[in-house]
Structure formats: C-alpha cells, structure tokens
Chains A and B, each alone.
Chain A
Amino acid sequence: MTRPPGTRNFEQILHQTEAQVRSYIAGMGISPADVDDLAEEAYLQLHCNIGKIPDDVPPEFWVKGIAKNVCLNHLRKLARRGRLHRHAVAEILSNTTTSLERLSSKTAKGAALADCLSRLPKERRDMLEFRYAQELTSDAIAERTRSTPEAVRIVLHRIRSALKDCITQKLARQS
C-alpha cells in the first residue's frame, strides 16, 4: 500500500535521517569525498518517489535501501583499479549490522559523540582536529606531530576504537 505523493514530509525525513544515511554510506567503504554526493543522489530519488514509501516501513530504512543501490551502482561504474574489490567490500559491509548501529538514533548518538570527545586528552583531540576538521593526511599530521604516518594511522584507529567503546557504553546505558 502506498500513500498519495506528498503525504510524507520529505523535509522532515531529510532532517531526521541524513546523518545516519551518510554514516551508512560511509560504512559501505565509500570514499569520504563521495559520501555527500551519493547521499544527495539517494535523497533526490526519494524526493521524486516519496509517495511510494510503504506505510509500515520507516523512511530511514527506505532511504538506506536507495542509498545502498546508489552506492553499489557508483562502485560498479568506477573506472579505478580494484573497483570489483571495493564493490565486494561494500556488499559485505552493507549486509553487516554493528552494535553501534542498533543502538543509535541521530540525537542520542550525536550527544554521546560530543560527550565522549570532550573526555579525550587534548593531544588526541588535536589529532582528530587535524584529521577531520583540517582534513590533513596522515603524512601531514605526522609532520606536524613529529611522528610517523604509520603511527598516526594507528593512533587515529585507537582513538576511534576508544570513542566507539565510549559511545556504545553511553547509548547502552541510556537504552
């Protein structure tokens, strides 16, 4: 059963789901530079077919379904070396459900992330700033921190792991 077009509020869906959908797209292994473009593509399709979302399906899942197809199509059409591997990785990841996903809602996850970030030591927070605010590569960060790129990558990995544990615990407590 489908509603007549326009009965769903696209703006509302967009605001409520965009963060999760973009995370979902990134979670498929899509390059960060492409995430927002693919998300726009997915929402464009949603906008054109808003009336076709079944009543009993949360819009977020519908959008993620569109996003999944958009991403796989995108990877299939990549001309780069390793596109088949990228596609395979994306398929596996899209079919993987993590504990963090199960627990999250946009608001709660955002708050948990902010709280966990505030608890990080300054040098670690700086490292995240370099990486995600200034969008520096590991090589550039290594130069600034007088470290090695490999060490930077490992440190960043450990920071993310710590943040994940922190967020998971917070959300679990809240739920």
Chain B
Amino acid sequence: MNEPRSIEALVVKFLEDRDGLSDDEFKQLLEALRSRPKIAEELKDHLMLEEQLAQHFTRHRQDFPARFEHQRQTEGSHAAVQANRKDEVVETYALSHPATADVGSNGSSAARRSPGKAEPKPPTVRADSEQASPSTGEPRHPWRKFFAVMLFLLLLAGGLLRLEYTAAARKIAEVSETDGMALIYRDGVGIVADIGMPILPGDEIRVQKDAHLTLMYRDQTQVRIRAGTTLVLQPAGGNWPGLLTASTEKEISISQGNLELDIAPQPAGRPMLLKTPQVKAQGLGARLVVAVEETQSRIEVLEGRFRVESLRNQEPAVELTAGQEVVATDAEFRVSPGAWPSDPTGLVFLLTPSATQSQPPNEGVRVHAEGINHSSVILRPRGNASLEAGRLVFRGGAFLAEEQTAAALLAACRRSNAISLEATFQTSDLSQTGPARWITFSTGSEAWNVSLVQEGRDCILRLLTDAGEKQHEVRLFEIPDRKPHQVVVTYSPGKLQCYFDGKPIPVESQIRGRFAGWTPQQLVFGDEWNGGKEWTGELTGIAIYDRVLSAEEVARNVLHFRLRYGDEIGKTAEED
C-alpha cells in the first residue's frame, strides 16, 4: 500500500483485532475509508481473504452446510419458533424490497436482472429487539424484559423520591396575600414573604406590626395571620406529604399573635392541629379565631366544631361549637359564648344587656353605656323609660345620650362616611305611628342625620347624605310580631344593607352620597329629642359603628348575642 504508514498500521491493527482500535483510531480509519475507496477495497479484500484462509485451514469451519443442517435439526422446534419470529423480519424485507437484495457485493448484479425491470434496492435494516441474537441464533434472555421493567420501575421510584424532596413537593402552603412586612425564617435566614412563595415544613412566620399575611393550603384551607404574630407551620418538619405520601395532618404552632383559620374539610382521622403555649386543639373543618398572648390563649369557633384541651391543667377536653370560645391560661380553662360584639373595631356606642344604672344623690338615674375606646357614656331617662334586666324599656319616654357622645358619633361618621346600627328590639304595638323613634340621631322631625323608626308594621330608615334628595327614607322590613328581633343596618356611600335576625334582606334603595352634610344632632332612644314621637317597646344590644359590618360578622354577632344573653333574644319566629 502506498498510503501513509499510520493508515496502514490502523488497517493492520483492525485486521488483528476488530475491537482493538481506540475511538480516535476508529475515527481516523473511518475518515480514510470514506475519503479513499481504495483503502476500503484493500481492507475488504484482506478481511475476505482472512475468512477464506480460515475456511481453508481450519477444519471445524470447513463443513458449514453440515453444521448448519445439524444445528437446524437438533434445534428443530426451537428453530421453527425462531423462524416464525424472523419471518416477520424477512417479510418486511420482502414487502419493502420485492425485487431482490442487492448488497453491492457484485457489480454485475444489475446486469443479471431482466432488462426493463426497476433496479432493486438493498433491504432496509431494521432494529428488531424481538429478533433472536444474530450471533448465536439463541433467543434473548427470557428475563431481559423483566429486568428492563424492574429497572424502569426502580428509576421511576428514584425519580419520585427525588421529587419528594423538592420544594414543590414539600410545599405545605403558599402565600396568597401579603401586606406590610412579613418574614419567613427558613434555616435561620429570614425572607420577606411575597405572593406565591411556598411555605415548607418548619418555616417560622413572623408578621410585623401593621402587616398581615394570608396562606393558602392545597386544599384551600386558609390562614389569615394578623400583625404581631409568630407561628410555625408543620413544626415537626420533614414529614410533610409530598407527591407520594399525602398522609400527614396539618399543624400550626402559634406562639403569639392573632390569626383566623378557615379549615377546609379534612380527611377522617387526619384533623388539623393547632397548638398554642396553653392549648392543643384539632378539628376536621371549622372556622376559628385564635388570639395568643403571653399568658393566655383564646380560641373562638365561628363555624363547625373544634376540640380543645388544656396543656397546663387537668381540665377535660371540650368540643367547641359555633359561637363558643375558650380562654386558657395557666390557671383556668374557661369555655364561654363568643364575645358580643365579636369585633369592637369602630364602635362608637355600645349598650349591652349587662349595662348597669346608678342614681347619684341629687341626680337622676344614669344608665352606663360605652363609647369610643370603652369610654363611659351616660344615658339619662326622660318620661316613662327605664332599664330593666339590661333592656331599655319605653312606655312613653326616652333615653338621651350626652352631647359629647353625639359629637363623637358625628365626628366618627363624617370621617368614615359609613355607619352600622345594630339593636335588638321588641315592639309592644304593631300599629304605633309617628313614625315612632327607636334610635335617632336628630333634633326634630325636620332635622336628622339618621333614624331607625317604626311606622305601623314597617321599620323605616331615615338617612341624610349629600347626594340626591339628601333626606332619604327607606322601608326596611315588616315587623312580624311582638317578639325580640335583631336588626342591623349598614351604609357606606351607595351601599345600604339590612339584616333581620342575622340574615340579609333585600332593600330597594337608591341612596348615594356621603355624610358631609351631617350636622350636630342629639342621640336619642325611644322618642324624638323634642318629644312627640314616643315608641313603646324594648331595646337592648345596641351598637353603633363608624364602619360597615360584614354579613359574616352580623351573623356571628347574632349567634354570640343569643348564646351570651339568652335564647329568646334575637331568636327568629321560625326558630321560636
């Protein structure tokens, strides 16, 4: 050969051992074979000559036909099976290349074909994993598929296990809402919470002052965390379910602060756990309000049931129902109805059934109510009006608040442009007119800011705004009977809503506008300030807010009021 020595050496080396070349040497040889057909011819001649020499010299290779026949006969049945399987392969060849198998081994092959016939093409090589081993004629190892499947399953399991430890799989919940500075401490490092951020087992959440954070679990369980709260979700860590093991119960450990829990229905046997320094609680679905201070925990159930047990004393566990709350300290474990009002925010005036009265020497009777920030508010009776068992009873008289109370109400409502009136009433006469005043913030029939009055069987709201007719009068509902009922009326610009015994009722109203036109008036119960509009009946549970109560809060207040102050008050006619 006149080729470079290196190529010749590679050819010699390849002839010596077909697997003897390195990758680089193979590449070099391939390049030479592709670019120099002469080298390919030379190599092929040597390979074929080697085979001929082997057939010539080696005895055991000399009678191939006999060996083949022997092999075919001794393995008759097996060969038949093999043949059937291979039949498919050759069938493929035949269908794809019906003419022949021109393998390029003889340049005269085309000449040997009949003239005019299309030139046959070489059979397509197809990988056939089911084909018997070409080198041995034996079937592939029967366990091969089994091992392949097992390997696949092993890899799949490994992959899933790996996924199990990703943040996506270990995510307990994610931040769905945030306002202000809320920090999530993970492995000792604090991260500012942002919407969409996953919460992992063991994360500690600290919501700073004036901030709040809402977390959403996968099952839509919601945790609304208020300012100044510190808690840990799934403090046990590590065992929180991922993609494979969704079996661990939810758990929140709160050390201080306030939160609201809206727990979606949980699977039986896997209640959601809540731990505070004083109590351990659990439930399968409920709405709660939790407040934890240094020495006290308070859990109030708004909906559903929740089982609570003390960690500090031997009191038996209790199951709270809606409207109940538990207060736990080191010394006590007290279950009681929920507070009324459930949220004192925005309270301007409050008269509870536990209100008291006094009569200092040389002064008339005083009924003690509350104002803004629990300040003392004095109501003075006029005519035939009295406080009996926590109720204001009107028999042709009235109670008048002091002027500073009226001034505070005016200032608060003008500032917020919103108001909510809440009261439990019991009329003595379904036909009284005037309209007879229940609660009025006015000084006469022509000068009023807001009034709740009775005209026959109708309950009417009078409201002054700075839009439209300004002095609006809206019929709210028909008084059904002479039993106690609760009414709540809320207004913010353009939105008037009325609730009767905790349920919203439709009100036809076009009232718009703000309270910019409100003027200094008097806060009077049971009559007009200047008289002549007396109402006979009883009022209790009076609360006036400078904000709008939500429907949820109204319902909660009705429930709490009933549980706390007696079954009759606020009970609907149907319930009765």
Contacts and interface: CB of A to CB of B under 8 A. Distances in A.
B134 A62 contact: no
Interface stretch (B10-18, B148-156, B210-218, B413-421): B10-18
A44 B86 contact: yes
Interface string B23-61: 100110110011001001101111111111111111101
Interface residues of B, number: 89
A89 B26 contact: yes
A85 B18 contact: no
B107 A97 contact: yes
Given A94-B103, A96-B41, 8 more contacts: A25-B51, A40-B137, A65-B122, A97-B41, A132-B56, A156-B15, A157-B11, A157-B15
13 contacts: A26-B48, A32-B54, A44-B137, A48-B86, A49-B91, A57-B99, A60-B106, A61-B100, A61-B106, A69-B89, A93-B44, A96-B104, A101-B105
Nearest first, the 9 closest Cβ-Cβ pairs linking A and B are: A65-B101, A57-B100, A26-B51, A85-B26, A132-B57, A48-B83, A133-B57, A74-B134, A49-B90
B71 to A, nearest CB: 6
B120 interface: yes
B177 interface: no
A23 B64 CA distance: 12
Nearest to B54: A132
What size tier do the contact residues of chain A reach? 35 or more
Contacts of A113: 52-53, 56
B503 to A, nearest CB: 78
Given A48-B83, A52-B90, A92-B40, A14 B71 contact: no
B18 A64 contact: no
A70 interface: yes
A39 B134 CA distance: 9
A78 to B, nearest CB: 9
B262 interface: no
A143 interface: no
A143 to B, nearest CB: 16
Contact of A96 (B23, B37, B87): B37
Interface in A135-165: 135, 138, 153-154, 156-157, 160-161, 163-164
Contacts of A49: 87, 90-91, 94
A132 B131 CA distance: 32
B112 interface: yes
A73 to B, nearest CB: 6
Contacts of B87: 48-49
Contacts of A19: 52, 55, 64
Contact of B100 (A62, A128, A164): A62
A100 B125 contact: no
Nearest to A130: B57
A92 B44 CA distance: 10
B428 interface: no
B2 interface: no
A138 B20 CA distance: 13
B74 interface: no
B125 A69 contact: yes
A62 B137 CA distance: 20
B159 interface: no
Interface in A48-94: 48-49, 52-54, 56-58, 60-74, 76-77, 80-82, 85-86, 88-89, 92-94
Contact of B103 (A31, A64, A163): A64
Contact of B108 (A11, A69, A85, A102): A102
Given A41-B134, A74-B134, A93 B101 contact: no
Contact of A37 (B11, B47, B137): B137
Nearest to B11: A157
Contact of A97 (B8, B106, B132): B106
Given A41-B137, A56-B113, A132-B54, A98 B108 contact: no
Contact of A26 (B47, B71, B120): B47
**Which of A22, A48, A131 is packed against the most chain B CB atoms within 10 Å?**
A48
Given A26-B51, A54-B98, A65-B103, A48 B90 contact: yes
B316 to A, nearest CB: 71
Contacts of A81: 19, 23
Given A18-B64, A47-B83, A153 B12 contact: yes
A37 B134 contact: yes
B118 to A, nearest CB: 11
B58 A132 contact: yes
**Which of B1, B34, B49, B56 is packed against the most chain A CB atoms within 10 Å?**
B49
A151 to B, nearest CB: 11
Contacts of B245: none
Contact of A157 (B12, B58, B134): B12
Interface string A21-49: 01111111111101111111101111111
A54 B114 CA distance: 11
B90 A160 contact: no
A72 to B, nearest CB: 5
Contacts of A86: 18-19, 26
A134 to B, nearest CB: 9
Contacts of B14: 29, 89
B123 interface: yes
A109 interface: yes
A107 interface: no
Interface string B125-140: 1111001111111000
Nearest to A168: B45
A114 interface: yes
A143 B398 CA distance: 132
B68 interface: yes
Nearest to B90: A49
B51 A32 contact: yes
Contacts of B188: none
B16 A153 contact: yes
**Which of B33, B46, B112, B122 is packed against the most chain A CB atoms within 10 Å?**
B46
A163 B106 contact: no
A76 B59 CA distance: 30
Nearest to A154: B12
A101 B134 contact: no
B109 interface: yes
A73 B134 contact: yes
A95 B104 contact: yes
Contacts of B21: 82, 85
Contacts of B23: 81-82, 85
Given A18-B65, A23-B51, A61 B102 contact: yes
Contacts of A88: 30
A15 interface: yes
